[in-house]
Amino acid sequence: MFKFKDLSNTEDELFRPENYQLSVKDFFAKRRTAKRVYLFDLRGAGDYEISHLPGAHNLPIEHFENSIYQMPFTGDILLYGGGQGETLTAAEILYDNGFDTFYYVDRFLDLYEQVDESFFTISPEALKKIQAQHEDASNGWLLAVEPKSPTKGVYTLRPLKDDDTEQMQRFQKEGIVFWMDFSLLPFLEGTEIQIDEDTGEIEVVNEGLGIGKLRGNFEDRVRQVLDEQVNPMVASHGGVVSLSRIENGEVFLRFGGGCQGCGMVDVTLKQGVEVMMKESVPDIVAIHDATDHDSGSNPYYR
């Protein structure tokens, strides 16, 4: 096996798993706030296909050691498994090979079952407004997220119109009942329910996971969509998209990383990036690829 640095026989530097194991809340906070995160699901392919954390790459533990040379040295590595000791094994392998910015939780199910009301906050002003609308929300409030990518979504709060809560998680905070789709719980940590200073209405924000209101001039809005929606989408392929220039409402983009030279870039542009950007900034006239794809050194699809 490819070996970076072996610390396993150094008596003063024994592997201490407690230094790398996080609570579920801290795990989600790390995923939300770290500048660059690589998330790995160590369970088998079958379990992964049934359900996995948005944005996670499947790397079954039996293949982990042979794939160590592919692990990134820049950024934080996050691991979770099925509670069968996979994460402890993977963490020790990473440690023995010189990695130090990795963290883990043992069980995939914990990432859903241990989510509680402490994962979100309500400002006093928003609480008063919610309490005043109690009659309109007799079934509680639905904390909804419309995912735009594995780690970005649009957050809203509205009264729950029916009592069909079979697939939802119930929270009670400040005497108010909130509901959230069970599958969307990975978007909850860091959520803040507050008052929009411009409109005076309730708004839901999440710094790191939420897509904010588009603000500024045309170029500012285009850049915001690239930063908050497009790049989180292509990041799973090691790609990055930047603004080259704007001419008469036509947007010229430059694709880098795994997108430069990628054989699927036309599909990504037309079916993904273009649809997403025009939906958010309707006054875009056209979107063009201004990339020199021949110089791409590590395309995701050749």
Instruction: Give tens-digit pLDDT for 76-128.
Output: 999 999 999 999 999 999 999 999 899 999 999 999 999 999 999 999 999 99
Which domains are seen in the chain, by residue range? 11-113 (3.40.250.10), 117-206 (2.60.300.12), 218-295 (3.30.300.130)
Tokens of 212: 């904010």
Q: Which residue has the higher pLDDT, 139 or 266?
A: 139
Q: Which segment of 3-12, 40-49, 216-225, 239-248 scores lowest on mean pLDDT?
A: 3-12
Q: What are phi and psi of 139, to 5 degrees?
A: -90, 0
Strands of 176-181's sheet in order across: 152-159, 141-149, 176-181, 168-173
Whether the Cβ atoms of residue 204 and residue 122 lie closer than 8 Å to each other: no
In order, the DSSP letters of 233-291 are HHGGGTEEEEEEEEETTEEEEEEEETTTT-TTHHHIIIIIIHHHHHHH-TT--EEEE--
pLDDT tier at 187, thresholds 50, 70, 90: very high
Percent of the chain with pLDDT over 70: 87
Q: How remote is the C-alpha of 256 from its chain's centroid?
A: 20
Strands 76-81, 37-41: pairing is: parallel
Strands of 57-58's sheet in order across: 57-58, 37-41, 76-81, 102-107
Whether the Cβ atoms of residue 226 and residue 158 lie closer than 8 Å to each other: no
Q: End-to-end distance of the chain based on CA atoms, in angstroms?
A: 27
Residue 269 pLDDT: 65
